[in-house]
Amino acid sequence: MAIGNAVEVERIWAALDEFRIEVPSWGFANTGTRFGKFVQGAAAGTIEEKFSDAGKVHELTGASPTVALHVLWDLPGGTADVPQIKKLEVKYGVRAGSINPNLFQAQEYKYGSIANPSAEIRGRAVEHLLESVAIGRELGSKDVSLWIADGSNYPGTQDMRKRMGWVEEALGATHAALGDGQRMLVEYKPFEPYFYHTDIADWGMALELARRAGPKAKVLVDTGHHYQGTNIEQIVAWLLHVGALGGFHFNDRKYADDDLTLGSIDPYQVFRIFHEILSTEAGERSGIAFMIDQSHNLKGKMEAMVQTVVTAQELYAKAALVDRERLAELQQECRLVEAEECFRGAFWQDVRPIVREWREAKGLAADPLAALEAGGYVERITRERESRNRESVSSYA
């Protein structure tokens, strides 16, 4: 279905002008599954290589000016590494984005981090959270994104009520350390790595913990962190309704938290989520952070990231085409078939020619994936990195 009129073109251009989606540093690195990993020659192995890759994605798409950083992997020296990050920002034209603490990888977190029965381990976990806040403050990063992997595998082996209190205390201390302009985003996940109970298992728990922590705390929705069949856009609508939606980690999945590229399995779901967001006022949605959180184990790292950003732009443009005034009339009159056709008709529009025109007008590559291939960037970084990557097959991120 072709774009019909100037009004629709204007909506798409306005949507693309405002759309920004953050890329993750770890998305450029060698990652894997519980069973192992397949090393890629072009994978980034240093923080400078990650910034270089992120800068190239932004250069091609014009939509990703920030790169999410993982403290343990990207700033092992803590705040001492901030000057290096600032130099890389200038060199590669992208800024540090959300700061992501790591509370799941250390051996001492076997029984949890901020919900660990050991007060000493909980204290060290909180120290890491406070250091993450300090890093974000020095870098001028708005968001500290918290995924708490804590939980248990067997009934009766942990006191869930006590753990709730410990989590609340840790998040309260983290919130108290936030500086001006900083936020704390609380993520949730129903299962994995633990399978009986997770300490922050759903959006209701995340919302209540955010509320108790303070006004700078919001909820982060990871699209892979739900049970099959969950109506994620309804969760988004509720969080918008109560003013608690802080941001997203976008990916896709077939079975569980597969971290597949956005829209590769269910693009209609992403469209539905974007519709809920675009149904709000521009000022209200301006504070919602869009972030990618994917593990590209089979696709090329750079190719997958560019493909993801391009897909996100196209789906956001499609959602902008919904005639919301007409849709509201049809909903009010319960004209079900017509309302659904009005809604999904926007999804079936081919926005790619208009997106291409927008890119060309902005001085961007008309086809970012083709430009990536033609520019030789992947071939160059493969030559530079492949030997080292083959020699370091046992390390993650």
pLDDT in tens, 236-252: 999 999 999 999 999 99
Residue 299 C-beta-side C-alpha neighbours within 13 Å: 18
Could you tell me which of 51, 57, 18, 59 has the C-alpha nearest to residue 364? Answer: 59
Query: Which CATH number belongs to the domain containing residue 181 in this structure?
Result: 3.20.20.150
Q: Which residues contact 327 (CB under 8 A, 6 or more apart)?
A: 339, 342, 343
User: What pLDDT is attached to residue 396?
Assistant: 44
Number of domains the chain contains? 1
User: Does pLDDT of 397 surpass 50?
Assistant: no
pLDDT at 270 exceeding the cut of 50: yes
What is the pLDDT at residue 95? Answer: 98
- Stretch 273-287: mean pLDDT, rounded? 93
Neighbour tally for 215: CB within 10 Å: 11
What angle, rounded to 10 degrees, do the helices at 82-92 and 119-139 form?
40
Q: Has residue 78 been placed in a domain?
A: yes
394 has a pLDDT exceeding 70: no
Whether residue 1 is contained in a domain is answered as no
Q: Please identify which residue in the block is written with the tokens 């959602």.
A: 319
Phi first, then psi, for residue 197 (nearest 5°) are: -145, 145
Mean pLDDT of 82-99: 98
pTM, entire model? 0.96
Look at residue 223 and tell me if it is in a domain: yes
Contact 62, 359 (CB under 8 A): yes
**pLDDT tens sequence across 115-125:** 999 999 999 99
Q: What is the pLDDT of residues 15-67, one digit of tens each?
A: 999 999 999 999 999 988 878 888 999 999 999 999 999 999 999 999 999 99
Query: Mean of the pLDDT values across residues 185-200?
Result: 97
Joined tokens for residue 382: 């493969």
Q: Is residue 104 part of a domain?
A: yes
86: Cβ contacts below 8 Å, ≥ 6 apart:
139
Question: 282 pLDDT band (50/70/90 cuts)?
Answer: confident
Q: What is the three-class DSSP state of 17?
A: helix
The dihedral through the CA atoms of 79, 85, 89, 94 has a sign that is: negative
pLDDT tens sequence across 343-373: 999 999 999 999 999 999 999 999 999 999 9
Q: Do the Cβ atoms of 201 and 193 come closer than 8 Å?
A: no
CA distance 228 to 363: 41
Is residue 91 in a domain? Answer: yes
State how far the alpha carbon of 88 is from the alpha carbons of 43, 49, 71, 97, in Å.
Answer: 18, 10, 16, 13
H or E segment and range at residue 315:
helix 301-320
The whole-number average pLDDT for the span 195-208 is 98
Q: Is residue 396 part of a domain?
A: no
Structural contact between residues 270 and 232, judged by C-beta atoms closer than 8 angstroms: no
Query: Residue range 150-170: average pLDDT?
Result: 98
Query: What DSSP character marks residue 44?
Result: B
| Domain span including residue 20 | 6-391
- Domain-located, residue 397: no
Residue 271 domain-assigned (yes or no) = yes
Residue 2 is predicted with a pLDDT of 58
